[in-house]
Chains A and B, each alone.
Chain A
Amino acid sequence: MPLLSVDKLTKSFGGLTAVSNVTMNIEKGELVGIIGPNGAGKTTLFNLFTGVYTPTSGSIKLDSDGEVKELGGLKPYNVTKAGLARTFQNIRLFKDLTVLDNVRIAMHQNIQYKLPSAFFRFNKFYNEEESLREEAIKLLDIFHLSHKKNELAKNLPYGEQRHLEIARALATKPAILLLDEPAAGMNPNETANLTETIEWIRQEFKLTILLIEHDMSLVMKICERIYVLDYGMMIASGKPAEIRANKKVIEAYLGEDVSNA
């Protein structure tokens, strides 16, 4: 069974069907891209996966170590607990908190000590907070952010904010990482840098990554498979080379006339 299997997923808002009958399978360890013109339903799909929206129909099943879980209709925090973590298209960091706190908050769901230890500061509290802190700094090291751990997140440059968001998502210890336009607003240099980072964390954390992206250089370079959405429907799927040559995809992006000409 694939790690994530999406079956006939549909979401309508009143009369508008934002995602219609989408079926996809993501195998463990894959790096899959989702592309499509603006308004194609890519972010809606992510919001369905992560519990922001409840599906109108269809199912999203996650295979966590042989145990199959239905994610459709779960609350976002339960989806995260099940092993899906995400970043946002428009960065949603805890802006007025420090870089370190941003990561530590994402680690909260795995905290072992109970409320009394928090109130009365038993040794458990000190031990766990200390190891939590070390773990967070280790994670920040990967993104070259540990020297900025006491900076407020809002004071970081844009590219580093994107990196911090990925670090924060990784802190929840996910099986699948969903990246919503990670390269948006980055210059070619930063994008190349990010491409490397994504490939590296995939190896290091044995992650399965699903990403939405407009930057074709990034998508074509690192994704093993690509799904293409248009008007909420899946119009194509396959390897980057196949997608590049797919007539329907070219039509969706450039309009019908161009492909006929």
Chain B
Amino acid sequence: MKALTKKNLLILGAILLTFTVVQGLISVGIINKFYEITIAMICINIILAVSLNLVTGFTGQFSLGHAGFMSIGAYFGAVINLQMESTGGFLLGIFAGALAATLVGILIGIPTLRLKGDYLAIATLGMAEIIRVVFLNLDITNGAAGLSGIPRYTNWLWLCFFTVATVLLINNFIKSSYGRACISIREDEIAAESMGINTTKYKVMAFAIGAFFAGIAGALHSSYFYFIRPDIFGFLKSIDILIIVVLGGMGSITGSILAAILLAVLTTYLQAFTAVRMIIYALLLVVIMIFRPQGIMGTKEISDLFKSKKKDERIG
């Protein structure tokens, strides 16, 4: 088993330790309901940001429609979960939502990903709006009033499981030949094509994978917060996710994770200053962007910081 390296075992140990400690703190009540919400927000935002980073940071396709895919997952999860109130229904809802989001991602990706830069941004923005309006007008989604009373199956166990799975799978993808093909599109599309890379195929692939995980995040969201309505997944939500990606560093997975945690903690503590909360939040973003425009991590990962330069970069 080549996967059982010292580094991977270390990561596994750290994940298990984090899970156990947080689970312990929740059961003894040190982490109360209020902070539990922060933790749920962090996990869902990590999934959203890492998956958007694959599209925007690594493949270089500027998307403003990530919340659209999230809403597909959220509604599929909610509708299925309301019909089948069991853990099985919850998991089925997650996977149905993720697959539906992937399918929509592929369908929308094929025509729009021919566009570049700002044109693509506008097209994806429009796509997310269309998805929102569809949910606003369907009977099964209960229109503008939204769905309520969604049973809560999302707990720390599932949040932790899906967050870790998302980060690991996307990380594995990026560090494979397929991931390098995606990164080459970001670097130079013409050169990538003349090196034998079908750029449209890999853009759509990145877009579809991003949509899959956004769908998972959406289903986790609806099952945690009991209640969803279309305007939760509007333009502002897409921007929120993009902010995490840009702040963490386009092309850095660990950067997205750090930024998701930082922003969630910040939002939680700023709730004490209701009136000026958004001003402080916005000011902080401006200041960080002025002093570190490449984001917290740039395109580096945390593991790069510990690596000595002379050491050979191995796979993984």
Real complex partners, A and B?
yes
Contact pattern, A 102-127, Cβ under 8 Å of B = 1, otherwise 0: 00111111010101011111010110
A176-202 to B contact mask, C-beta < 8 Å, 1/0 = 000000000000000000000000000
Q: Is the Cβ of B194 less than 8 Å from the Cβ of A76? A: yes
**Contact yes or no, B193 A75, CB < 8 A:** yes
Within the assembled complex, what's the spacing in Å between the Cα atoms of A92 and B177?
20
Taking CB atoms, residues of chain B closer than 8 Å to A96 are 187, 299
CB-based contact A168/B195 at 8 Å: yes
Q: How many Å lie between the Cα of A158 and that of B169 in the bound state?
A: 38
**A162 within 8 A of partner (CB):** no
Which of B176, B181, B192 lies at the interface centre, i.e. has the most chain A CB atoms within 10 A of its CB?
A: B176
Q: Tell me if A75 and B177 are in contact (CB < 8 A).
A: no
B177 A111 Cβ-Cβ under 8 A: yes
Q: Bound state CA distance, A150 and B299, in angstroms?
A: 15
* Chain A residues positioned under 8 Å from B172 (CB to CB): 118-121
Residues of B50-86 whose CB lies within 8 A of A: none
Q: B313 touching A150 by the CB < 8 A rule?
A: yes
Question: In the complex where A76-B193, A129-B315 touch, is A104 in contact with B180 (Cβ < 8 A)?
Answer: yes
Q: Is the CB of A97 within 8 A of B179?
A: no
Binding stretch for chain B, among A28-36, A80-88, A252-260:
A80-88
Do A94 and B198 contact each other (CB < 8 Å), given the known contacts A133-B315, A150-B313? no
Q: Does A213 contact B (CB under 8 A)?
A: no
Q: A50-B194, A97-B187 are in contact. Are A105 and B3 (CB under 8 A)?
A: no
B190 close to chain A: CB less than 8 A: yes
Q: How far is the CA of A85 from the CA of B196 in the complex (A)?
A: 9
Nearest-neighbor residue (CB-CB) of B315 within chain A: A129
Residues of the A chain whose Cβ atoms lie less than 8 Å from the Cβ of B299: 96
CA distance A130 to B188 in the complex (A): 26
A52: shortest Cβ distance to chain B, in Å? Answer: 7
Whose C-beta in chain B lies nearest to the C-beta of A117? B176
Nearest chain B CB to A50 CB, angstrom units: 6
Interface assignment of B163: CB less than 8 Å from any CB of chain A: no
Query: How many angstroms between the C-alpha atoms of A150 and B173 in the bound complex?
Result: 20
Residues of chain B within 8 A (CB-CB) of A88 are: 191, 194
Does A81 contact B196, Cβ atoms closer than 8 Å?
A: yes
Q: With A and B bound together, what is the CA distance between A119 and B3 in angstroms?
A: 12
Q: Does A132 lie at the interface of the complex (its beta carbon under 8 Å from any beta carbon of B)? A: yes
- Taking a contact as CB atoms under 8 Å apart, the answer to whether B176 and A118 are in contact is yes
Number of interface residues of A (CB under 8 A): 47
Residue on A with the closest CB to B179?
A118
B residues near A94, Cβ cutoff 8 Å: 183-184, 187-188, 191-192
Say yes or no for A95: interface residue by CB 8 A criterion: yes
Partner of A92 from the list B2, B188, B309, B313 (CB cut-off 8 Å) is B188
Closest residue of chain A to B251, judged by CB?
Answer: A96
Query: In the docked arrangement, what's the CA distance between A105 and B194, Å?
Result: 11
Within the assembled complex, what's the spacing in Å between the Cα atoms of A93 and B312?
22
With most chain A CB atoms within 10 A of its CB, the pick from B3, B191, B309, B313 is B191
Among A75, A105, A132, the residue within 8 A (CB) of B198 is: A75
B108 at the interface (CB under 8 A from A): no
List chain A residues, Cβ under 8 A from B2: 121, 123, 126
Residues of A within 8 A of B179 (CB): 118
CA distance A81 to B313 in the complex (A): 29
Which residues of chain B from 154 to 184 have a CB within 8 Å of any chain A CB?
Answer: 169, 172-173, 176-181, 183-184
19 further A-B contacts with Cβ under 8 Å, apart from A92-B188, A119-B169, A129-B176, are: A77-B195, A77-B196, A77-B197, A94-B184, A97-B183, A97-B184, A97-B187, A105-B184, A105-B195, A106-B196, A109-B195, A118-B177, A120-B169, A123-B1, A125-B176, A126-B3, A169-B195, A171-B195, A172-B196
List 7 A–B pairs whose Cβ atoms lie within 8 Å, in order of A's numbering. A52-B194, A75-B198, A81-B196, A88-B191, A93-B191, A119-B172, A129-B315
